[in-house]
Amino acid sequence: MRIRLDLRYDGTDFAGWAIQPDLRTVQGTVEEGLAKVLRGQRPRLVVAGRTDSKVHARGQVAHFDVDETAWAAVVGRAQRTPEDALLSRLTGVLPSDVVVHNVSVAPEGFDARFSATMRHYRYRIADAVALRDPLRRRDVLWSRRQLDVSAMNAAAQQLVGRHDFAAYCRPRPGATTIRTLTEFVWERDDDGLAVATVRADAFCHSMVRALVGAGIAVGEGKHDVQWPRELLRAKERSSSVTVAPGHGLTLEGVDYPEASQLAVRAQQTRARRATDDVDSI
C-alpha cells in the first residue's frame, strides 16, 4: 500500500529535506516518527520537492509504502480509520517544527515525486525597516536596500517558458537543466513585502534561489532588466548570479493530475530527456 503525507515545516533548524549523516533533516525526523508509530518498520519517504537547508514548506507532499498488516495495526484498539490513527499518532510524536496535516491512501499509480505536474514556491523580502516583522524573520529575508519590484517583475517575465536553465542550476553530470517555468512574478503583498511567485514543472538544484538572486540584483540596480534573460544564453552556471539565502523561500504547493493520469505522468517524467525542445531565447 502507498500512503500520501501532506506536510508543513519550519526549515530553520533542519539541514534540508534529504537525510544526511549526523544532521537533523526533515526526512530523517519524519521517518523516525513513522518508525515509532509503525512499530519498528521504518519506511523510506519519497518527496515532491527536496528542499535545501533553511527552506520551508507549507504544501510539501511525500509518500511511503507499507504492507497491509502494518497499516491495519496502526489503528490499535481505537474506533477509527488507519488514516486518522496515523495522523493523530504522528502529531503526538513529531516535534513542533514539522506538522503532517493530512494522511491518505494514495490512488493507484501515485508517486509524490514523479506524478507531480507543478511545484509552487514563494520568496519573501522585507526591503525597508518599516516592513520588518520579528515574527516573520524566519521566513522573510531582510534587505537593507529598497528593491525596484517592477523592474524585477519585468526581468522575471522574460524568463517564463521552456528553456535550458543551466545558468541558474548547480550542475549535476548527465542531468537535464531544461525546465518549463510557467510563472515567475514579483509583486508587493498586502503587508508590503516583495514576493516572488515561481511555478514550474520541476526545478534543478538551487534554481529558485538563483532566479531570486538574479531578481534582487536587478531590483538593487546592479544589473538591467535584460540581464537575467541574457544569462540563459550562456548555458552554463553563471558565477555572477548570487544564490539567495534559503530562509526566504517556502514550497507552497505541489500539483498532481487527476487519478487516471497519475501513472502516465510518472512515466513521462521518468522518460524526460536532456534533448527536449526548448523555447527560443
Tell me which stretch binds a copy of itself (CB under 8 A): 86-94, 147-155, 165-173, 273-281. Answer: 86-94
Helices (H), 60-148: 68-73, 82-93
What is the distance between the alpha carbons of residues 268 and 262, in angstroms, rounded to a whole number? 10
Q: What x/- string results for residues 2 through 31 when contact with a copy of itself is judged by CB under 8 A?
A: ------xxx---------------------
- Please report whether residue 32 would count as binding a copy of itself according to CB under 8 A: no
Q: Does 127 bind a copy of itself (CB under 8 A)?
A: no
Does 247 bind a copy of itself (CB under 8 A)? Our answer is no
| Residue in 34, 98, 149, 166 binding a copy of itself, rule: CB under 8 A | 98
- The yes or no reply on residue 102 touching a copy of itself (CB under 8 A) is yes
Residue 123 has which C-alpha cell? 520568496
Q: Quick check: 52 binds a copy of itself (CB under 8 A)?
A: no
In the complex, the smallest distance separating the C-beta of residue 211 from a copy of itself, rounded to whole angstroms, is 22
Type of residue at 51: T
Taking the complex as a whole, how short is the minimal distance between the CB of residue 14 and a copy of itself, in angstroms? 10
CA trace torsion 197, 259, 108, 37 (10° rounding)? 50
- Write down the least CB distance from residue 13 to a copy of itself, Å: 10
Tell me if 222 contacts a copy of itself by CB under 8 A: no
Query: At which residue does the C-alpha cell 539565502 appear?
Result: 245
- Work out whether 51 is an interface residue with a copy of itself (CB under 8 A): no
Query: Contact region for a copy of itself (CB under 8 A) — 37-45, 87-95, 150-158, 198-206?
Result: 87-95
Phi–psi pair at 186, nearest 5 degrees: -110, 130
Q: Is 188 in the site for a copy of itself (CB under 8 A)?
A: no
Question: Taking the complex as a whole, how short is the minimal distance between the CB of residue 10 and a copy of itself, in angstroms?
Answer: 4
| From candidates 81, 91, 240, 260, binder to a copy of itself by CB under 8 A | 91
* Closer residue to a copy of itself in complex, CB, 67/133: 133
Give the integer Cα–Cα distance in Å for 125 and 194. Answer: 5
CA distances for 217 relative to 15, 150, 199, 214, angstroms:
27, 13, 21, 5
Helix segments in the chain, DSSP class H: 26-37, 68-73, 82-93, 149-157, 207-219, 227-234, 262-271
255 contacts 110 by C-beta, under 8 angstroms: no
DSSP letters for 174-196 = T---EEEEEEEEEEE-TTS-EEE
d(CA 129, CA 126): 8
Q: Of the residues 6, 10, 52, 127, which is catalytic?
A: 52
56 or 163: CB nearest a copy of itself:
56
Active site residue 52: yes
Residues with catalytic roles: 52
Q: Which residues bind a copy of itself (CB under 8 A)?
A: 8-10, 56, 58, 87-88, 91, 96-102, 129-135, 137-139, 142, 250
